[in-house]
């Protein structure tokens, strides 16, 4: 017979939870939001209007293809470390992070269907919003893919899209909303904080991107609050980014002049 001498686990205090949230965000998308805010200030105070500036996503990191590929893969891998940290922390308290976040694959068909539906519901109005922002001059010109035309370009763009989706949906929706609810925040404040954070780290693209991503954050946040499942959000976000990134890389550039 064995005796467990470990003391009973105590629930995390509000101070510990608050510090944990700040550290996770400081290592991930909270940091990105601060940099994006500084970037939009720099853009607005530059010599050229915002509409004449360019925001490049998935930019090339080296003129040497093999080194560029290495940098791209390292960037994708290390960007997922905060996700692993958040999952690890949720596994410790309250436990079983996959169930808490709705990342378990117990209903793949329904998750895929919801993900596709969310992508369509967000993507089509999003195109109109980006077009309006470009017409009003409140967005920079967005280049979704700035990689050279090489054999690894499309696979890397798909990996980048998947990484973006996992990072944003797990951290900003699943982890953050779960912890804020544990801290006793009201549902409205939790939803607003998550959505505004999502908009903030897209500010480097301009104000149209900010507004569009806040709206997207509200829609996805409401879905999570209702279903407690992040996996459909990851699927939806991945589909949206794959279409944008790979489409830009493969289709004629004039198709994207409105961006």
DSSP letters, the chain, are -----SPPPPPPPHHHHHHHHHHHHHTTHHHHHHHHHHHHHHHHTSSS-GGG-EEESSB---SSHHHHHHHHHHHHHHHTHHHHHHHHHHHHTTS-HHHHHT-S-S-HHHHHHHHHHHHHHHHHHHHHHHHHHHHHT-BPEEES-B--S-TTHHHHHHHHHHHHHHHHIIIIIIIHHHHHHHTT--HHHHHHHHHHHHHHTTGGGBHHHHHHHHHHHHHHHHHHHHH---HHHHHHHHHHHHHHHHHHHHS-GGGGTT-
Which pLDDT does position 250 carry in this prediction? Answer: 87
Confidence of residue 121 (pLDDT cuts 50, 70, 90): very high
Give how many domains the chain has, as a whole number: 1
Asked whether residue 5 is assigned to any structural domain, the reply reads: no
Asked whether residue 60 is assigned to any structural domain, the reply reads: yes
Asked whether residue 245 is assigned to any structural domain, the reply reads: yes
* pLDDT tens digits for range 77-104: 999 999 999 999 999 999 899 999 999 9
Q: Could you list the residue range(s) of the whole structural domain that residue 222 is in?
A: 19-256
Asked whether residue 168 is assigned to any structural domain, the reply reads: yes
Asked whether residue 77 is assigned to any structural domain, the reply reads: yes
Asked whether residue 55 is assigned to any structural domain, the reply reads: yes
Asked whether residue 72 is assigned to any structural domain, the reply reads: yes
Asked whether residue 76 is assigned to any structural domain, the reply reads: yes
* pLDDT tens digits for range 32-65: 999 999 999 999 999 999 999 999 999 999 999 9
């Amino acid at each position: 017979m064995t005796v467990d001498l470990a003391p009973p686990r105590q629930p995390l205090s509000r101070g510990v939870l608050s510090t944990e949230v700040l550290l996770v965000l400081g290592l991930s998308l909270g940091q990105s939001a601060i940099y994006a805010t500084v970037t939009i200030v720099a853009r607005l105070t530059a010599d050229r209007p915002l509409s004449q500036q360019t925001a490049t996503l998935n930019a090339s990191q080296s003129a040497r293809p093999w080194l560029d590929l290495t940098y791209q893969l390292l960037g994708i891998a290390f960007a997922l470390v905060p996700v692993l940290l958040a999952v690890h922390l949720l596994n410790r308290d309250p436990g079983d992070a996959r169930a808490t976040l709705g990342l378990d694959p117990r209903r793949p068909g329904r998750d895929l269907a919801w993900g596709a539906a969310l992508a369509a519901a967000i993507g089509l109005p999003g195109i109109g919003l980006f077009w309006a922002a470009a017409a009003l001059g409140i967005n920079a010109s967005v280049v979704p893919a700035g990689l050279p035309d090489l054999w690894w370009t499309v696979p890397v763009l798909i990996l980048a899209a998947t990484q973006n989706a996992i990072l944003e949906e797990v951290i900003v929706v699943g982890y953050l909303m779960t912890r804020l609810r544990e801290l006793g925040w009201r549902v409205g404040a939790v939803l607003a904080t998550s959505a505004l954070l999502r908009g903030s780290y897209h500010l480097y693209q301009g104000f149209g991107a900010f507004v569009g991503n806040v709206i997207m954050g509200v829609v996805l946040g409401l879905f999570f609050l209702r279903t407690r499942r992040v996996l459909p959000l990851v699927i939806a976000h991945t589909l949206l980014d794959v279409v944008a990134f790979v489409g830009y890389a493969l289709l004629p550039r004039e198709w994207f002049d409105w961006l």
